[in-house]
Structure 1
Amino acid sequence: MGPLSVYGSPLPVSPALDRWIRQRARDLTLRRVDTQRASKVVNSFRDGLLEFLKNNQEKPYFRQAKVLNSGSYFEMVKINSPNEFDMMLILPIPRLNMTELEECPGVFYTLSLCRQARSEIRSYQVNNQLTISAAKIRADMRDLVCKFISAYEVPSLDSEWKVCVEDANSPAVTLELWRTGSSEADLSIDVVPALEVSSQGLPAAARAGSNVDNWLGKKDRRKLLSAGFYFVPKMPRGDDLSDMAKESWRISFSHSEKEIIRNHGNRRTCCEGQSNRCCRKTCLRLLKRLIEGLKQRYPEELEPLCSYQGKTIFFHVLSRRGDDSQWTIGDLSKCFLILLSAFEGHVQSGNLPHFFVPSHNLFAPPAFPQSTLDFLAAALKEQRESNLPLLQTLPPIALLSSPPPPPPPSTSPQQETQMADICKSTSPEVVQRVGATPSSSPQLAALLHLSESYSDRSSIIMTVLGLMVALMGVGLGFLKLM
């Protein structure tokens, strides 16, 4: 693959790379049986939590809470397994004064009531002033969730919910579902308190956002601007924050993001049937998989990188390539490479405007240091020039009551020695003697790449067996030519 022009048409995609991308796209689709099982557990948790909050006597402000499902699962772009869920706990709020935070204007605000309230929100005013305390609402919600979990039983499963250690930079209370005797959690839920602002206009910084005129149309843009918005109790990153910054809120457009992704076509018939399917959401899934793979390979170097930056790039590309004919399912690989090109372009320029608040740069330091941008640019270039090796299939994750995978077949020391000898003898020269090279055989190249990347013994054994089958096939073809 050569360099790609941002938002333009990429160079022709080789048949081998096209097959690779399409296979990865199929592998990322969630299984219906897994989604049904996970939804049952999450819905039971949601209903139980709402009932608990409605009847709680300690924190009356939370009695009026309602739930807004958000995140990739409910946007229908979740990848690999339905094991992560986002749940916004919507709380009512009177009319507010919204003041941009000097340290991070546009997305972080201090919130204060326009006048003294008679409702239960008065319990969360800072020092009896009109300013609303983000820290106190976050702490009280965590306390309520912990009390709910202590008495809640997961229906029909030998499992229990556990509350994770608090993260000072996260607005969420994270819970994990653990089966008895399991070594890892089956799924997790992030419960985030959010103040709903529905009767006021957007802050000035957000009025120029949602550039969807040439894609969804001006009518839909007006709907997005009037749909309301939310504030979640999240403060900026940093060690020397002011007292006001520690009580700040981050603006959220989760409901608008979900609406855009679920109704993504510039025609209402987009994706209503097989003949009208587009590849937009599939491209986003592939980009999420690439970001996930980069973070798994470089967890420290790319710590600030997250899927939200990928989603923002996706929105920007869609706003510039709005017509459904530019996203046909037959052009999946080309469309994904355009998205990847845009990713590289934003990283190289160090500029990624927030889609709803264009004045805020998601790639700006200190949240995203220049050293991280340089490292990410190099990593993306390596991926592009190497035909995207990180777009590999992840092993299936056992979910809830799914049976554990069978153990790998046992081998004797003599068999392992023989297999090791085969690995040593499988050099490019040996392959060339039977009339094939990694470059001329994509299947063989993939097997060689996978055999180098696997580290555990059982994976090496299975890879070698597959390599032997491939070599036997090549050898038989060579014999026929003789």
Structure 2
Amino acid sequence: MEGSRRRTTAPRARPAATRPTREAGGTAAALPDAGSHGPPRGARSRRGELDGAPAETPRARAAPRRAPARPRDTQPPATDGARAAERPAVPEPQPPADPEAPAVARRPSSRRGGRSTARQPRAPRRSRRERDQLMDVLHALRLRRQETCVSANTVNTVVTRLLRGLGNRESEFEGVEQLNTGSYYEHVKISAPNEFDVMFKLEVPRIQLQEYYDSGAFYLVKFKRIPRGNPFGHFLEGEILSATKMLSKFRKIIKEEVKEIKDIDVTVEEEKPGSPAVTLLIRNPEEISVDIILALESKGSWPESTREGLPIQSWLGTKVRTNLRRDPFYLVPKNAKHGKGFQGQTWRLSFSHTEKYILNNHGTEKKCCESGGVKCCRKACLKLMKYLLERLKQEFQELDAFCSYHVKTAMLHMWTQNPQDSQWEFTNLSFCFDKFLMFFIECLRTEKLDHYFIPKFNLFSRELIDKKSKEFLLKKIEYERNNRFPIFDKF
């Protein structure tokens, strides 16, 4: 941030109306304001003060060849001044977006910033006090090593016994294997190690997918060839493999195996409509929730709806993307909505394993956040936003439709649009978090949040979340942002 406050001493060929965009980490493009031209209303320019540091007094103009070097940044060549004089007086453009990146949030060019009303008061400067507040919240959200070890050991014991029991049965699920997913294994779990997601993956013979109503995410599953003795034969409805029937049998077997566990207090919770998980409740003595999710593993090519998804070429690289798309993909028994109910035959695509890889290998530099490497604030911003949504949901039932997956998806898009590690330096935490808030607000306003792997699947469509709920969340986030997050003071 120091670099973004120091004045350049290059000749003043640039018009006064054209000012370079202030950026995190001094890179060519700071976190974009979701497509707006100019700084967001309420966000206040960082020209005067950033993170509580006073603005520097303008210096006397130095000799042309004596311009001081900016740390972690490079000054534009002096010849840029001549070219700048010919350009119209508009903010400098952001770097070209990845051609495969989904358009997550757009706004009309006439609107500025992240305010929902023109007369709403401006947000305060990002002061040192606010940065300290965010650091205090992050410290409070850290998982304690001792608690984590106890919880993880208990969960591993239960899961191991379930896998052993399924393997010893002569059933359709005797070949299941464990695949750890979710926030705990992505190292973005907050508050307490009390929720775990575990996939029980089951490889299936060659399957054929039929997209359900152009959704991109939901599919009907057929077998290309049904040999005699197919163990999944009695889950078929015609040629279609029924997700509901298969999940029901899976739940029944899990319940039977849980009853065999005598030395741990574990029970199976009631089935939730539309949920693909069998949820276990472990008392250890604190309650731990474990979602056991049945997943069909397919080693074929990823479906056509994912072709333009996973836009990490300019961030993690084309080679990484190619290798990730060679991995298997998974189908979980999550039913598509059908009227007021669910279509019981449908399966939903899942890329939890790929998301875990990205979150654990998120930097353009291989040593980002590793021992001896530079720490970035990517995951810190994700944790803060997850916590903000979690606290708001605890207070307002109008927000039940939202979940942490919405936050993670929006953050993946934000990382894609701002790929450089220097744009996420930890010293810029309050600035980066504020820009992400603006981005998420814009997604709510435009009712558009594209699935990261399936661009045509809009997670904020009105079929999934009504407009009133999105407007309610938007106002609550704006209130917290404009008033220095009073909800954080309640933890």
Q: Taking structure 1 as the reference length, what is the TM-score of the superposition?
A: 0.75
- Post-superposition offset of 1:263: 0.5
Match of 1:33 among 134, 146, 168: 146
Contact map agreement 2:293 2:332 (CA 8 A) in 1: yes
- Partner residue, 2:293: 192
Contact map agreement 1:270 1:324 (CA 8 A) in 2: yes
- Post-superposition offset of 1:374: 1.3
Contact map agreement 1:61 1:120 (CA 8 A) in 2: no
> Is 1:168 aligned to residue 265 of structure 2?
no
Match of 1:112 among 222, 238, 244: 222
Q: Classify the secondary structure of the residue corresponding to 1:85.
A: strand
Match of 1:152 among 261, 265, 283: 261
Larger RCO (CA within 8 A; separation ≥ 6): 2
- Partner residue, 1:236: 336
- Partner residue, 2:306: 206
- Partner residue, 1:351: 448
- Partner residue, 2:403: 306
Distance of aligned partners of 1:273 and 1:7 in 2 relative to their CA distance in 1, 3 Å threshold: farther
Match of 1:47 among 160, 165, 171: 160
Contact map agreement 1:201 1:226 (CA 8 A) in 2: yes
- Partner residue, 1:6: 34
Match of 2:252 among 131, 136, 143: 143
Match of 2:179, as an amino acid?
A: L
Contact map agreement 1:124 1:133 (CA 8 A) in 2: no
Contact map agreement 1:162 1:175 (CA 8 A) in 2: yes
- Post-superposition offset of 1:56: 1.3
> Is 1:61 aligned to residue 160 of structure 2?
no
Q: Distance in 2 between matches of 1:72 and 1:392?
A: 24
- Post-superposition offset of 1:282: 1.1
- Where does the alignment leave 5 or more consecutive residues of structure 1 unmatched? 395-482
Match of 1:84, as an amino acid?
A: E
User: What are the Cα deviations for residues 172-212 of structure 1, in whole angstroms up to 9, with x where unaligned?
Assistant: 01111125xx7xx52110001000011x1111111110011
The percent of aligned pairs where both chains have the same amino acid is 33
The CA RMSD measured in Å over matched residues stands at 1.8
- Partner residue, 2:108: none
- Partner residue, 1:377: 474
- Where does the alignment leave 5 or more consecutive residues of structure 2 unmatched? 1-31, 45-49, 51-125
Contact map agreement 2:401 2:465 (CA 8 A) in 1: yes
User: What are the Cα deviations for residues 34-66 of structure 1, in whole angstroms up to 9, with x where unaligned?
Assistant: 111111101101110111001113xx2111000
Distance of aligned partners of 1:75 and 1:264 in 2 relative to their CA distance in 1, 3 Å threshold: same
Contact map agreement 1:277 1:329 (CA 8 A) in 2: yes
Contact map agreement 1:115 1:130 (CA 8 A) in 2: no
Q: Taking structure 2 as the reference length, what is the TM-score of the superposition?
A: 0.73
Q: Distance in 2 between matches of 1:111 and 1:306?
A: 27
Contact map agreement 1:7 1:320 (CA 8 A) in 2: no
More helix by share: 1
Q: Distance in 2 between matches of 1:259 and 1:192?
A: 19
Match of 2:184 among 60, 73, 86: 73
User: What are the Cα deviations for residues 106-132 of structure 1, in whole angstroms up to 9, with x where unaligned?
Assistant: 0011110111134644334424x3311
Match of 1:218 among 318, 330, 336: 318
User: What are the Cα deviations for residues 384-420 of structure 1, in whole angstroms up to 9, with x where unaligned?
Assistant: 11112222463xxxxxxxxxxxxxxxxxxxxxxxxxx
Q: Distance in 2 between matches of 1:206 and 1:164?
A: 34
Q: Distance in 2 between matches of 1:241 and 1:83?
A: 30
